[in-house]
Chain A
Amino acid sequence: MSESAKPHHPSPQGKGEKTHASDFSYVGIDAILEQMRRKAMKQGFELNIMVVGQSGLGKSTLMNTLFKSKVSRKSVQPNPEERIPKTIEIKSISHDIEEKGVRMKLTVIDTPGFGDHINNENCWQPIMKFINDQYETYLQEEININRKKRIPDSRVHCCIYFIPPTGHCLRPLDVEFMRRLSKVVNIVPVIAKADTLTLEERDFFKQTIREELRANGIDVYPQKEFDEDADDRMINDKIREMIPFAVVGSDQEYQVNGKRILGRKTKWGTIEVENIGHCEFAYLRDLLIRTHMQNIKDITGSIHYETYRVRRLNESNAHFKSQPSDQPAVQPKANGQPEVKPSAPQANGVAAKHEVMSHEM
């Protein structure tokens, strides 16, 4: 269901005609791709991206550049306040964007206040709570007796973490945050404002970051353990050698060599955002949108969400076992009919898993 999956045949009809003469054994199973495509286009897609990083690292600008429209929180607020909030807030803005008949509901989740205070202890907690709350909402919907045909998916699919371009190494705050959150959500680390670094400094910085990530056991997207086959692994290995991407964002256009391109103009030159020789924005965009979007959603749904679900059901199971008289923690919101679920969580788990897969379509 990626946008690049074009059906092999323009129409099943045409294929039938073509093979009618030559291939008796053609059944037409591959026409299902076309059906899926049509269905997906009708349904539309959902994508929830969270951006995390200190203030002033260009998060809003990068979001605007990625989706080539004003989707960031600052563009939507009528009076953008530049003050740093006292506690970390989570602000979520949704947009409906459309391209070539494909509709997408994009939600950008911003976290102003992260890492901006003098004492940043536990600044990751509100964020983890938010992510888990989204999983909880989805779980509640799922175990409903009468549930909707299509559960609205507000789970965070991808978290882009902005690393300040110091050029030396990761800060303790970065390591702490990524360590905790790589277990619940897909993290894509990027080096913000990469026009500060020369090419040698950039390479050195990336190497240092990769080593530190390895040393701390932080698994960022694409995770090694979720590679399905050799092809995947090859593609993902290439990506893994390039993370974290050094990005520059801009929503202003300039004229360069007769072309209008997005960039930043300084007195000593113009930085082109989409030029691979200047920065790696194009790679990030391809990864997030053009090639790996579906994969990101799958991993969120099938792995992170399932981990959460198993944990929650086990918790309520234990709760139930210790206090049999009390009502279990997990109560489906049906029409006033509380049902006791945890008696056979294993069977349920398997059944629900299949249903979740079908819902992902």
Chain B
Amino acid sequence: MIERPETAVPSIAQRNLEGYVGFANLPNQVYRKSVKRGFEFTLMVVGESGLGKSTLINSLFLTDLYSKDYPGPSQRIKKTVQVEQSKVLIKEGGVQLTLTIVDTPGFGDAVDNSNCWQPVINYIDSKCEDFLNAESRVNRRSMPDNRVHCCLYFIAPSGHGLKPLDIEFMKRLHDKVNVIPLIAKADTLTPEECQLFKKQIMKEIQEHKIKIYEFPDTEDDEDNKLIRKIKEKMPLAVVGSNVVIEVNGKKVRGRQYPWGVAEVENGEHCDFTVLRNMLIRTHMQDLKDVTNNFHYENYRSKKLAAVTCNGVDTAKTKGQLTKSPLAQMEEERREHVMKMKKMEAEMEQVFEMKVKEKKQKLKDSEAELERRHEQMKRNLEAQYKELEEKKRVFDDEKLHWEAQQRILEQQKLDASKTMEKNKKKGKIF
């Protein structure tokens, strides 16, 4: 029996159900809907060239994003820092993931690396701005989320500590994106060196007050234990490889050296499995949430605060951070109209150009035809002249022949006359 509360209860009281209602099925519905929708994830990799970023990405997602035919950006040394993104659609178990990998070739490679982080910051801000604009629209049916959810920063395995460049970069990006520092090419370090190095790095990170991504505590004790273990291993020392080697009859992915095989998925050799599990299997959604709730909100409040501060009445605009829907619609309509006008102008231009082209073509073909006509006429005239010539010759011949015939006839006549004469005379014979 459900008891009706006597007083207005500020907190929600828990009730026990007496039968099966069925809302335990809600997670399944959510699950089915998300599966249909598909997921998006944007991962950024930053580090000097030659630290194995492309190899690690290939190993993490078991695809050849960067292969020999399409060499990764790191194969060529760039003059300035570029930001390149590649999109890949991966399917597994009916779940679709649109994975965007953002690479930063040229980072830290030049002699003078001041401000090499600027292109990276610009990229992240521009993606946040796109999202902000999409969010502020009136019609927001489709909002693609291209914000950078996670940034893997590769630290060179010097064994000593962080470089000034590492510290600068992380300090500038830790409040814009989730930064996860990794020790690259960890098979350079022996286990003792690795431990020392990790401690040194964490000390320096705390010294400089860099906020790297922190794993959230869950209510589950089991999970908490795992999370604490992961925290102790930070920063993760990774080795990447997509080459399959046979070790003791087992096929493993690893790197073959003359002195042994460094296995990528062996927890004792490196922390790759930890990274993969954390990044993909357990904390992907959390990374997206932190990006949305924390980094993006930071950006948004900063951006909008800047806008409102420029306004005259800051008190009045407190409740009008965004304009009223009508004004917004007006603006959108104006934008739309302008866009249309521009498109129209462009189309007209294109049309003009095409017309000109066609005219030119027609003129050309006309000239061509004329030329041919002329040529044919001349041909014909030449032939005509030839024929005339032939006819003349023929006429001449004919006359000549007729004259000859007449002479012949005359001769014949004469001959016959003389014959007759002779015949008459012949009677005498």
Contact = CB atoms under 8 A, between A and B. Distances in A.
Interface of A: 54-57, 82, 84, 116-121, 164-169, 171-173, 176, 193, 195-196, 198-199, 264-272, 277-278
A169 B48 CA distance: 12
Nearest to A122: B111
Q: Which DSSP category, helix, strand, loop or mixed, fits chain B's interface?
A: loop
Interface in B328-379: none
A117 B108 CA distance: 10
B114 to A, nearest CB: 5
B222 to A, nearest CB: 27
Contact of B259 (A121, A165, A278): A278
Contacts of B125: none
B177 interface: no
Contact of B258 (A119, A267, A277): A277
Interface of B: 48-51, 74-75, 77, 109-114, 156-161, 163-165, 168, 185, 187-188, 190-191, 200, 255-263, 266, 268-269
Contacts of A120: 111-113
Contacts of B257: 195, 198-199, 268-269, 271, 278
A172 B259 contact: no
A208 to B, nearest CB: 10
Nearest to A201: B255
B40 to A, nearest CB: 31
Nearest to B167: A118
B187 A196 contact: yes
Contacts of A193: 157, 188
A268 B255 CA distance: 10
A116 B113 CA distance: 11
Nearest to A194: B188
A212 to B, nearest CB: 10
B49 A168 contact: yes
A196 B183 CA distance: 13
A359 B257 CA distance: 48
A118 B259 contact: no
A268 B261 contact: yes
A168 B258 contact: no
Contact of A266 (B50, B164, B190, B256): B190
Contacts, number: 105
A195 B186 CA distance: 11
A168 B50 contact: yes
A271 B112 contact: no
B165 A265 contact: no
Contacts of A56: 156-160
A266 B191 contact: yes
Nearest to A277: B258
25 contacts: A82-B200, A119-B112, A120-B111, A120-B113, A121-B112, A165-B50, A165-B188, A166-B49, A168-B77, A172-B109, A172-B110, A172-B111, A195-B187, A195-B257, A196-B157, A196-B187, A196-B188, A199-B257, A199-B258, A266-B262, A268-B257, A268-B263, A269-B257, A270-B259, A278-B258
Contact of B164 (A117, A165, A198, A268): A117
A173 B48 CA distance: 13
**Per DSSP, are chain A's interface residues mostly helix, strand or loop, or mixed?**
loop
Contacts of A117: 164
Given A176-B111, A196-B188, A198-B255, A169 B164 contact: no
Contact of B190 (A55, A119, A176, A265): A265
B50 A167 contact: yes
B77 A82 contact: no
Ordered nearest first, which 6 A-B pairs have the shortest CB separation? Answer: A56-B158, A166-B50, A269-B260, A269-B259, A268-B260, A119-B112
B50 A173 contact: no
Contacts of A199: 257-258
A118 B112 CA distance: 6
Given A57-B158, A118-B168, A168-B75, 13 more contacts: A56-B157, A82-B160, A84-B163, A118-B164, A120-B113, A166-B48, A167-B50, A171-B77, A176-B111, A198-B256, A267-B266, A268-B257, A271-B257
Contacts of B268: 267
Contacts of A164: 50, 156
A171 B109 contact: yes
A172 B74 CA distance: 14
Contacts of A82: 160-161, 200
B220 to A, nearest CB: 31
Contacts of A266: 187, 190-191, 260, 262, 269
Most buried by B among A173, A272, A277: A173
Given A167-B50, A168-B49, A196-B188, A268 B262 contact: yes
A164 B268 CA distance: 26
Given A56-B156, A271-B259, A166 B51 contact: yes
Contacts of A277: 258
B113 A119 contact: yes
A168 B74 contact: yes
A35 to B, nearest CB: 47
A56 B164 CA distance: 13
Contacts of A121: 111-112
Nearest to B52: A167
A326 to B, nearest CB: 39
Given A166-B50, A169-B77, A198-B256, A55 B158 contact: yes
Identify which of A55, A118, A119 gathers the most chain B CB atoms within 10 Å of its CB.
A118
Of A55, A117, A176, A267, most B-chain CB atoms within 10 Å = A267
A320 B369 CA distance: 85
A311 to B, nearest CB: 26
B254 to A, nearest CB: 8
Given A55-B158, A166-B49, A173 B111 contact: yes
Nearest to B189: A266
Contacts of B111: 119-121, 172-173, 176
A116 B164 contact: yes
Of B111, B156, B168, the most chain A CB neighbours within 10 A belong to B111
Central interface residue in B110, B161, B185, B257, by most chain A CB within 10 Å: B257
Contacts of B48: 166
Nearest to B164: A118
A265 B192 CA distance: 10
A116 B266 CA distance: 33
B154 to A, nearest CB: 12
A272 B259 CA distance: 8
Contacts of B165: 118
Contacts of B112: 118-121
Contacts of B262: 266, 268
Nearest to A116: B163
A35 B165 CA distance: 57
A195 B257 CA distance: 8
A121 B111 CA distance: 6
Contacts of A172: 77, 109-111
Residue with the greatest number of chain B CB neighbours at <10 A, chosen from A117, A199, A268 = A268
B13 to A, nearest CB: 56
Given A56-B156, A198-B257, A199-B258, A267 B269 contact: yes
A107 to B, nearest CB: 24
